[in-house]
Every structure is written in structure tokens, then in C-alpha cells.
A and B are shown apart, each in its own frame.
Chain A
């Protein structure tokens, strides 16, 4: 299994290296779909230049990276291309190992269930075989590394790649059952961009499942585990934040990074929902809608955790998707991360309802982004509404994709309990509906 992965890594690195050398890299680095004000490499360089001039990079409104990132690139700015390729490779390998481990567990669980005769008889075709599961980890790595979104993001040197690497390491350490590392990487991811905070729910569920701690509010062991995890998470977050304070000697970065993420002052167009909405917002409603939109990102955590408490990895996927759709400055790099999980759910394909339509819309939108951008910004023959319409459609497609997978997942679970070919009372073939 190592050989194909190595080959894949080689191919991915070659593609990236070739693009870095070509004239396309500058073009890509300017694309608003690929870089946001939070992740643009140009702004990292600007922050370093400001430091060289003796000005705090957070005194202006151009630089919004965290102090650790600027400290990192203070040393490796000359090797930035290698750093970003390395980040992608780390993400891919981490996801590969994580999914491999997860598949093993899924298989083991299925075996127990089969031995206990828990599945209805007609569900045999829903049972997953080791043969089909064998290539899934490799496919996940491939989906991440060869996804054009990831490649663009890497070639543009968007720091989104680094955030993805941290999240992938968090997923790996969670699935491997390492509580401490999981908490540390989660705090790092939170520190980088607040939103991964919602991933603590699936992490807790997964780790408890692994340690056979029942999810029961009345059990002391449940609370004790939560306190342990929270302590590790908050402790490492505290350490990182203090470290950042000592690196630059001021708290300026807090409003400049987190205030910037939450209050959305920069309305540079991107593929998200925020920019045009807040450009056109009436001033006195601005704060209200800002709260509504930001709460929206965090809001789904609790109901999803309740519904999916037996399936924390699917919950991670759902959370990543929700974050990347509803976050304030999304880029295609964020989308690439949750798209990498699609091969893991390849057994759901028979229940997907509109995957063909959704993938067509996603492809068409991806192609239309640069076209309408050109028409608006350069040709002047279209206006902002055109680009905005495409972002809307793109987001609708993403939402449909995610809810479709969610639907398929729930439906498969239902069939595994009640049988695949359900009959009505009168014996005719029944149709399943949500009620």
C-alpha cells in the first residue's frame, strides 16, 4: 500500500512544483476564490515587510495571520513553496492513515454486528466488504492531493493549506485515540481560525466511544472525561495565546485576527455568502445579521452531535462542510478538505438523490467564477450581481451535496435496522419518507 501512496505523493509534488515555476502561479495567487484576506500570501509578505520596517503588522488592516504563522515564515520565507507542498503532503498522509484506521474499526464493528445477527437478512448487500474498502484511504489522499482546488490553493500559497494540515493532524490523532495530541491540534486549529472549535464535539464523542465511556449525562465518568479534555484543550490554547503574546509583545493580534474573522470588515469578494450581503446591508441591521450569520456556523453542532452521536467521523465531515460553507472568508482550500472525505462515504452512493445535478452545478460554477470575475472587474460588461449569483449557486450546490450525503447516511442506518426491502402492511413495496 505504501508504493501507490508514494507514487501519488510524487505526482502531486511534481504538479505543484511545475505550477510554481510557471507564470500561472502569480495569476492564481491573485484569484479571490483561492485566497481570502485572511490567507493571502501577499499579506503574509506584507506583514514580514512591516516587521522589517519596525511597524507592528497588526497596526494596519492588511495582515491578519496569527503571530505563530508570521514567526514560522520569518524563518522559512525562502522555502515557502516547500513548506506549502509539505503541508499538503502532511494533510494527505494524515488523512490516509486516519481513514485506514477508521475503516478497520468500521469493519470490526460490522463483524461484531454480523456475528450478533443484528442486521436484517435482506441487508447483506449493504454490508461492506474488505475488498471495496481496501483502496478508500488511497482514494482519500488522492482526492485531497489531486483536487484542483487543493492544487490552486497550494500554488497560491494560501495559508489555508496550513490550517488544513493542522485539522488533518487533529483528525488523525483523534482517530488514533490520542487524547492529548487531539486536544493540542484542536487548540492549534482553533487558534488559527476560530471555527474548528465546533470539532470538539465529534472529537469528544469519538474518544469516548473508543474508551467505552457511555454518553450519559448522569454518569460521572462522562463528565470526568469532558473535564479532562477541556482542561487539555484550554490549557494548550492558553499556552499558544500567551506564546503569541510574548512573540510580539502585544495583544494587538486578538482584534486583528479574531475580530477580523467575526466582524467581517473586509468585503473583498470571495466564494462565501458574507461579502455581498454585508456590502449591501443597511447599516442599522448590520450587527444583527452579523450575529445571525456567525451563530449559524456554530449552531448546527449540538443537533448534529445528538443525531450522529454514534458516528463521530461522519459528524466531523458534516462539521467541516458546514464551516466551509458558512464561514466568513471561505476559500476553495476549505472545500477541498471536506471533499477529500467523499470516498469514505462511497458506500452511500446508492442512496444519493441528486449527486449528478450537484456535481454538474459545482463544476459549472467553478468554471464560471473566473469568467464572471473577468466580466465584472476587467471587461466592465457585467456587474457585481453576476459574480454574486454564481457564489449563491455554488453555495446552494454545496448545501445540497452535504444534505444529500446526510440523507443517504441516515437512510442507510435506517435500512440496517429495519431491512432494505420494506413492505407495507398489505405486502406491497413500501417507499420511505421523512416524517
Chain B
């Protein structure tokens, strides 16, 4: 094969000089490679030595490395996997992060040529590129600097361009790429040095998901990301969240966040007030920080998916992953907010789909009881906290739950038995919990009010199975208070809970996993993630309950603020100003929806209740020893 250029093209004449020298280089490299087989290794060894040039290179060495890489690209068919092992090892060991853009381009070209030349090199080339997802350890801290960010952009744009080119030339490359990407993902079992790379690595995975080969790799990659979120979530113990300072309740912290948000809607991710309990203790936790960053990365990715119209197909995969992984990981604290945020981005499709799936799992007898209980806990917490869900939709789902519970009640021979009927009790508790948050908004719409009144709630809750006695007392008492005020129904029996958060019976139905106290969409404790969630989230203090008139709404916050100060004093949270009012009602309002789980913890350890519990607004799974 020769090279002849048409004489009447001026530009081809200009090319001629340049191309001849490039061609000579290629021939020289080809000779160096072929001569190895005859025992002449000098030129070959020189070539290998050039590949090892790194660090701050002078212009001559830079040019030498660049031209050598380019020449090798034209000679890949002469590379033999056994005779030129050292050359291949040095090529695959190169990190683009160490070089200037020109050398990056040359290396990229070589890798593409190598991958397309033979099936033997595809895996190694892909592994080399995946290795370049993350910088060398010395570079990690520089990522926060402008120079580091620029280098990161230079490298990653080339790495992904190379992967795209390989995909264009070798259509089966994604099949080979997937296991490499998943296996090389940093895990919680790695040392911290390696684990810190997980954010950059995941960024690359999500980039792949959006790329041309996305359709082929999406499912596996997204599931791997969710798995990693759960792994990190599991590493954060509840002890990391709980704090020694009992003086402030979670409800108060929640209130302060709301006030901050209300004061300035644009302030997102502000410094938290010094009184914040859980975030402070989490702030020094590396795992928590990584999880926070990963969640933010995922949220931003979901936003871009939404922008390009891909959110629904991505969501379907997340939903699948949720069912397999998150739903059964009962200690999941934050990972589920991925679903929450996806739903917030597209309430009409994703938002409804998520709730419907959870309800489907609950009512289906195909799933084990624990999965069903977990599912309805997610549903209850989601329906209560998702600001973007319409009351109309919530009522339709409540009806589904009530109908299922009614059907259950119609099975003859049912008597109170927390363990045997735990799925039923979890369903009842879910209904009551949702109504604690939503009753007022439902009753305010006449059509929905009549639907709610038509629901056989009374039949279900007053059945022999006695859910009012078994379910979490704090939820039941709040619900009864609101039901009475809304004239939904009244109970003749007085349920005296003494401000108990939980009871023996609720613990029984919750089981070892304490699914009676599982409200997974309680406010997110991760600072950066929460700034995404907050605009779509309902805090308890934002809720208009059925027993509060409009003129009393402003006093709620004052009441709640006082609540905190009085927690430790007499445990009843009463302020002297409220003595003129109905003490029964205010006792409930003051104690509404806030707990200090550490109290529960210490109380359980001591074997008796010391302080009265409050209505859970932020309930975590019980920290009783048997559940840890």
C-alpha cells in the first residue's frame, strides 16, 4: 500500500511533508516491535522507557512521549500480547491525570486503536480507562482547587470520549465494561483513602448512564449506585446520630430549620444552629459526609435526567432497586431520599408510581410480612411528608389501606394479638399516622371530607383486634385528638397513654425490627442532601392539625419553642401561659410529634420510663439492645 496524493489539491501538498515524518515514525516503531522476535530489543526497550516518562517533563520529553504514543497508535497491529508484555503493562499503567492535555489525547488515541485492533486488548483498555475515573491519591486534595477541577475535566472528558469511541468501534464493549466498572467501585471495606474516591467514581458511573451506551448499562450501574448508598447508610450507626445532649428535642431542631427556611427561602444549606443535635455529631463522620455527597450527586443527576426527559425510565430502575435493596434494609436512614427526590421532580408520574408500588406490596400476600410492614411504613411516612402529593391522591390511597384492613377484619375469629396480626396493625398505624398530618387538609375539601367520612374507619379501629390499643400510643393519641376535633369519630373508651411513645403491645407488633417505630422519611439529617429535600418536605410544625383554628397557628410555634425548654423540667412541656386553655388539648399539642429517642434508649436501659414520651415527628428505629 502506498500513499499518493492528488496533485491538484494544494492542501494535500502541505500534508505531504508532515505525513511522511509521521509515517516514518510509525515504520520505525513497527520495526522496533517486530525486531523483538528476532532478539533485537534495543529500540523496543527505548520505547518502553519512553512510556515510563512521568512527572514534570521538559518540552523535549513531552514531545517524545506524545509522538511515541501517536506512532504506536499506527502500529497496534504489530503489538504482540506475549512478546511485548512490558510495553503493554507500561501503557495500561499510565494515568492521564499525570500528563498535559496533548499527551492525554495521544494516549487516548492509542487506547482506542488498541481496543479496536483485537479482542485480546479490549478488557485491558477498558480497565485502564476505568482506572482513570479517579485521580492518584496525591491528587485527591487538589480536586477542590481550580487547577484540580480543570485537570479533572480534562481527564474525564477524554476518558468518556474514549469509551464512546470504543463503543462505536466495538459494539459489545459495554458488556465487557459493566463488570469492570462494578468490581472496581470503591466499597466500605476499602481503606478510607480508597473510599474517599467513591464520589468521583460514582460521578463517572452516572456519566456513563447518560452516555450513548446508557441504554445498555443503565440498569446495572444505577443498581450498583443504590447498593453503595445503602452500604454507606448501614455503616452509620444510630449511635453516630444520637447525642449526649438531651436538652433539645428533635422537634425543636426541626422547628428551627423550618424557621430558617421561612425567613429566607433562598438560603439553602445554611450553617445549622448550634443547638442541632444530630447533624453536629454526624459532621465529623467521614462515611456520613461521603453519603451526603453521593446523595447530592444522585439528586443532581436526577435533575439532569428530568431535564432531558429520561427521568421516568431511570426511575423505573430505581424503583426496582428500591424493592430489592432499600425496602428490606430496615436500618436505612437516608438512602431512601433518592426516591423521595425523584418523586418530587415528577410528582404526577414518579410520585404516584412510588406510592402505588408501596401500597401494592402491602396488600399483596406474595410478599413476606416484614416486607409488607416495611412497605406500609414507607408509604405512611411518604404520604405524610411529601409536600407535592395532592390530598385527593392521598385519600385514594388511604381508601385502599382502609379497604384492605376492613377485609382483614372480616376474617372471623380475630382478637387482639400483636404478633399474629402485625401486618394489620402496621396498616392501621399507617392510616392513623397519615391522618395526623393530613386530616385537616382533607377535611378542608368538601369532596374529600365526604370520602373520608364514608370510609369504614370506625369499623376497623374499633374492631376486636383493637388496633387503638396495639399501635404506637403517641400516634394513636394524636390521631384520636384530631379525629375528635374533626368529628371523624369518637371513642367511648378512654385511652390513657400517659404520653407514652411506645408500649409493650406496640413493641410486640413491631417485632425485633421495631417496624412500629419506623418512619423512614423523617427529616434528613445530612446537611447538603436536606437542602434539596427541604422545599418538598412537610415538617410537623408546618402541619395544621384538626384541633387548631387558623388564629392559633402562629401560637403553635411559640408553644413548640417553649416545649423544648420544658422538656427536662417536668417532662410535661407545659407553659404557665396555657393554664387558661383546655389542659387536655394543650397537653397533646405541646407533646405533639416530637420525641427524644435517647430518652427512650436510656429509659429502656434502666428498665422503666423516667420521662414521658412525645409524639414522634422524627422517630428512629428503637435503640433497645435487642434491636441493635
> Is the A/B pair a real complex?
no
